[in-house]
Structure 1
Amino acid sequence: MKKYVIYYRVSTKRQGESGLGLEAQERDVALFLTQFSPEPYEVVGTFTDVKSGAKAARPELAKAIEEAKAHKAELLVAKLDRLSRKVSQIATLMEEKGLTIRVAAMPTATPFQLHIYAALAEQERVFIGARTRAALTSAKARGVKLGGLRENTRTRNVEAVAAADAAAQQVASIILPMRKAKATLAGIADALNDAKVPTQRGGKWHPSSVKNVLSRLAC
């Protein structure tokens, strides 16, 4: 029987108390268990930290790892960044003896693929941070008033746009040649899914998501 220890992480106390952030993780884990896990399976433990992904000290993660080792279970997380946002920390965890990590949003990914994905994600976050700061500096230089929205909300909105643009650029070399060759949106989506290329949120491609990327690339 396949055994799992589930680990969730939310970044703020408010998210932990309200359940915001947990619902999406629970949904992804449930989807993995019902559609991708060998049957029968058993969940032998569930742990949740309310900590930033940049912080190495997470007591519930430590407990989850020990539980997984004790039961010879896989440590199951919804997304790779729930373990950490630092590639060095993720690499250390993947190299830990007796520990197998499974990511629900990338059910067939190998440890090598997870490592590469973590490295790319870290580079993307560095780029987005620089791009956000540059955008804010440019806006201030033009005399744009940045009031109205709360500072954190406004920054998150800018970061979300930058993240979507960066994600579009990552798949541009696949999507643009296929579109130029008259491939349909559905055909492009199928090709990306067959190649196991995840969307920005780690899900599957659909014609509408391909169309959204093409719109961003045309900007």
Structure 2
Amino acid sequence: MKIVTYIRVSTDKQGRSGLGLEAQRAAIAAYAKATSAVTVSEFQEVESGRKNTRPELQKALKHARVTGSRLVIAKLDRLSRNAAFLLNLQESGVDFVACDMPEANAMTVGIMAVVAQAEAKAISDRTKAAMRAARERGQTFGNPYGAAPLRCAGKGNAASVQAMQERADARAHDLAEVLEDLEACGFTTLQAQANELNKRGIRTARGGRWHASSVSNLRKRLEAA
């Protein structure tokens, strides 16, 4: 099994001194040994828990996706109140495990995110109540004809088609830096790049092997984007 690791400290001082980092690395090393896992890469974040930006987490998630690796998080407990972190983790589609909370999964992380967003939910509830009151006064919302006009126009599946295109674009964006690295390393032909992608354990969007044609399609999508 391949793993990508993510560790975090909350202050620059801790980052420089290594305080807290060694304990996290030790926990990850113990997990890797117990599961016979191979570490593909490590990402370290020095960030305040109050901030929603997680650039290193985004890099870790992207690398886990393109290499088909599991993301191993050293410490989840202190991040369990940060909705942005939890939602990024839940929506990434990446398999993950937290060393300090091994029972956590996409479902439990989702529950944590719901709790963290309690105030947002309260606002939503108040908005819905206001809309109900407006309806009672005779005000209407949305298209009174429902989805019929969309079906007549042949646009009933537009949302699903757009979602598929967005996922494909996101996958291509994940691999853009990989393609740049391949060229920098001297892999200039489509076939050479396909061979190296397969050698690095990076999968296509459907989980298959790369060919010159699939690399060409990827490059065309990036150019169009």
Compute the TM-score of the two structures, normalised by the length of structure 2.
0.46
Which protein is bigger by CA-based radius of gyration? Answer: 2
